[in-house]
Amino acid sequence: MELYPLKFQPIFKERLWGGNKLRTVLEKEADGDTVGESWELSGVPGDATTLVNGPYAGKTLPELIGEFPGEVLGNEVLERFGEEFPILIKFIDARLDLSIQLHPGDELARTRHNSFGKTEMWYILDADPGAELIVGFREDVSRERYQQALEGGTLTDLLHYQPVSTGDAFFINSGKIHAIGGGILLAEIQQSSDVTYRVYDFNRRDAQGKLRELHTDLALDAIDYRRRDDFVLDYSRQPNTSNSLARSPYFNTDYLKLDRDRDLQFDGKSFTVFMCLSGTATLVAGGVAEEFRAGETLMLPAAVHKARLATNGCELLQVTA
């Protein structure tokens, strides 16, 4: 395999709650004022991102993995997850509140949907004054109390509301009830799954005037009904070094704030993804230099063992499986 920084064409998703910050803030070529998601790196069937640079341009991510599985993913990732790309990388713009929802864990998702579960993390890129997330319950609740509140229209009274600002980061375990509030632009790293159980949608209607589907019965066995204060990610912002942000069985994320060039070394166990949060940088590997800026994402195959980030100032998330 020829080794170089891989750049993929994002897939834009229109959403009822979407806005225009992907275009106005991140300067993406996203038409329309209700684009809610930019899928940066995806192997999801039917929504696989396509490589746009270098000798493999035109291949989808799954096609590239199929041709060079160990070189792209890393042998350890290949052993754990097979040839299915294990994570999904997005930028999300919520002009309006998202539905209140949750995601099943691995076992339930595998049994019901033949899918990975969905554990995810968020990094807040921009937030309007007063913007909030819903993350979990205010206190432990029983299944019966939850059902009563849902049926009685008082579910929101049971939920925890979390104010946010730029630079905040959160870890959302599968089973945790949650919603991204209106006015928030964020980077999302998640297991490669598009399985969502929507339990409350504020009685909104889609473009055809229809209420969106709810999954209240499916959600009952997937919800974690306990209050858990485990979602705020406290992390260091030391410049010009890797700061551990999130660790999980599914993905590991570091935060980098650089004001000068940085040499990188990798152990070959996993691919590496860089999401640019602010500024610009050039990633150099295999003799190829690829520039990227805020709102763009690059991936290094696992077979790359050395690279260099050249920058006068940037913030990045560095992600491995």
Q: Which tokens is 232 given?
A: 């705020």
Residues 37, 27 contacting (CB under 8 angstroms) = no
- 15 catalytic per annotation: no
Strand order across the beta sheet in which 197-200 lies: 159-163, 132-137, 178-180, 100-102, 197-200
Helix (H, G, I), strand (E, B) or coil at 175: coil
The angle at the Cα of 59, spanning 55 to 60, to the nearest 5 degrees, equals 140
Q: Annotated binding residue at 178?
A: yes
Confidence (pLDDT) at 206: 80
Residues 39, 48 contacting (CB under 8 angstroms) = no
pTM of the model: 0.96
Q: CA 115 to CA 190: how far, in whole Å?
A: 13
Q: Which of 80, 138, 143, 198 is catalytic?
A: 198
Confidence (pLDDT) at 192: 96
Q: Annotated binding residue at 120?
A: yes
Q: Which amino acid is at 123?
A: Y
Per residue of the chain (321 residues), what is the pLDDT tens digit? Answer: 999 999 999 999 999 999 999 999 999 999 989 999 999 999 999 999 999 999 999 999 999 999 999 999 999 999 999 999 999 999 999 999 999 999 999 999 999 999 999 999 999 999 999 999 999 999 999 999 999 999 999 999 999 999 999 999 999 999 999 999 999 999 999 999 989 999 999 988 887 888 889 999 999 999 999 999 999 999 999 999 999 999 999 999 999 999 999 999 999 999 999 999 999 999 999 999 999 999 999 999 999 999 999 999 999 999 999
List, in order of start, the domains of the chain with CATH numbers: 8-220 (2.60.120.10), 243-320 (2.60.120.10)
